[in-house]
Amino acid sequence: MLGRTTEYAIRAMVYIYIRNQEGGRPSFKEIAKNIDSPEQFTGKVLQNLARSNLVSSVKGKGGGFFFSGPSKSLTLYEIIKAVEGDEYFSKCGFGLKQCDSSSPCPMHDDYSEIRKSFFQLTNKQTIQSLAEKVNQHKAVLNRLQLT
Amino acid sequence: MLGRTTEYAIRAMVYIYIRNQEGGRPSFKEIAKNIDSPEQFTGKVLQNLARSNLVSSVKGKGGGFFFSGPSKSLTLYEIIKAVEGDEYFSKCGFGLKQCDSSSPCPMHDDYSEIRKSFFQLTNKQTIQSLAEKVNQHKAVLNRLQLT
DNA sequence: ATATAAAAAGATATAAATGTCTTTTTATAT
DNA sequence: ATATAAAAAGACATTTATATCTTTTTATAT
């Protein structure tokens, strides 16, 4: 469904948010350790997210990643769009270059429904809502314990 | 959602089914032309499907691909499983190695719903049902006209 | 000021998915 | 029998995704 890069992106953002709440500003090394992702690659992913202004960063000693401004909620949709690209939510499930209700692929109707549900999920769930589940011990970020 | 290889697989199978109904037994070159896919690669994909006994083939002059036996219906699920592998329908949407209701990722509940819907779609839709839509001009296999 | 610790950047490396080219095998039409 | 047309097989080639290694830049703690 989602590429690994996107999975790292979401997990990393949730981790950053949680550490921010605790007053921390984690480095990508700390993040990678805690979400069980490759260190340098996670750095790259975060670099891109920062470029897209989905997260902030400061260089130098004591620096790291954090959410700035009035913590408006950040939907998964925005992250997925930034990482996977815009077409992700409109691609035909059958692989046709052109597919819409006027000239549908044979799966079009059923598939549209599911895509819509997924779209809604990604617009409903936010980094904040996921983080809350983790905080309330209703979900885990990975198999390892959070430090 | 689905890899390109799987998309080719499904489109190819639908095309084969339609041609079979007309009494034809298409070659992978004919198939590729009509579903707008790379020729040789389509050959490989069909070779694998034939290995998995999801379609039959005969070599030699006049040969090609066809469905044998009492045309039992073939679900998309079976094709997807053969091409993408078994884990496809159970992978965590968040990328966790371990994720289930006892130790869920933060998206687990919502995502499970969607995965279930998709699973149901792929078990409801068959090569036959898709072919029928195409036959009834309610859907198209690709942008080009079928010959 | 200087050392330090962090992100950013750049250059590669590896793996997986996708695609192509060539040769071999094999039915079957002639 | 032979030519032909088809799948099968094998060997590469390309592209995209994922991952690592090294160097540079830059805040800030000391």
List, in sequence order, the alpha helices (H) in chain B. Answer: 4-21, 28-35, 39-51, 76-84, 108-124, 127-135
* A117 Cβ within 7 A of any nucleic strand C atom: no
Q: Using the beta-carbon criterion (under 8 Å), do A7 and B113 form an inter-chain contact? A: no
> What is the tens place of the pLDDT at every residue in B111-124?
999 999 999 999 99
Instruction: Give pLDDT, residue A143.
Output: 66
- The amino acid that residue A87 corresponds to is E
- In angstroms, rounded to a whole number, what is the distance separating the alpha carbons of residues B74 and A14? 41
- In angstroms, rounded to a whole number, what is the distance separating the alpha carbons of residues A128 and A86? 23
> What percent of chain B stands above pLDDT 90?
91
**How does the average pLDDT of chain B come out, rounded?**
94
Spatial distance from the CA of B13 to the C1' of D8 (Å): 19
Taking CA atoms, what residue in B is nearest to A140? B105
Taking CA atoms, what residue in B is nearest to A123? B110
Instruction: Give pLDDT, residue A33.
Output: 96
Q: What is the mean pLDDT of residues A34-57?
A: 97
Q: Using the beta-carbon criterion (under 8 Å), do B121 and A111 form an inter-chain contact? A: yes
Using alpha carbons, select from A51, A121, A53, A126 the residue that is nearest to residue A89.
A121
What is the pLDDT confidence band of residue B143, given thresholds at 50, 70 and 90? low
The structure tokens listed for B78 are 């079976």
Cβ-nearest to B2 among A93, A96, A131: A93
With 80 as the cut, is the pLDDT of residue B145 above it? Answer: no
Cβ-nearest to A105 among B8, B113, B139: B139
Instruction: Give pLDDT, residue A69.
Output: 75
* A39 Cβ within 7 A of any nucleic strand D atom: yes
Instruction: Give pLDDT, residue B8.
Output: 98
Q: Using the beta-carbon criterion (under 8 Å), do A4 and B95 form an inter-chain contact? A: yes
| Contact status of B121 with chain A (Cβ, < 8 Å) | yes
A15 burial type by CB count under 10 A (0-12 exposed, 13-18 middle, 19+ buried): buried
> What is the tens place of the pLDDT at every residue in B77-130?
999 999 999 999 999 999 999 999 999 999 999 999 999 999 999 999 999 999
Using alpha carbons, select from B16, B12, B71 the residue that is nearest to residue B42.
B12
Instruction: Give pLDDT, residue A25.
Output: 97
Instruction: Give pLDDT, residue A1.
Output: 86
Instruction: Give pLDDT, residue B66.
Output: 98
What is the pLDDT confidence band of residue B1, given thresholds at 50, 70 and 90? confident
Instruction: Give pLDDT, residue A142.
Output: 78
Q: Are B59 and B73 in contact (CB under 8 A)?
A: no
Instruction: Give pLDDT, residue B146.
Output: 39
| Contact status of A58 with chain B (Cβ, < 8 Å) | no
- Give the nucleotide at minimum CA-to-C1' distance from B64: D6
> What is the tens place of the pLDDT at every residue in A56-110?
999 999 999 999 976 679 999 999 999 999 999 999 999 999 999 999 999 999 9
- Give the nucleotide at minimum CA-to-C1' distance from B65: D7
Spatial distance from the CA of A64 to the C1' of D25 (Å): 15
| Contact status of B11 with chain A (Cβ, < 8 Å) | yes
| Contact status of A8 with chain B (Cβ, < 8 Å) | yes
With 70 as the cut, is the pLDDT of residue A146 above it? Answer: no
With 80 as the cut, is the pLDDT of residue B70 above it? Answer: no
Q: Using the beta-carbon criterion (under 8 Å), do B11 and A114 form an inter-chain contact? A: no
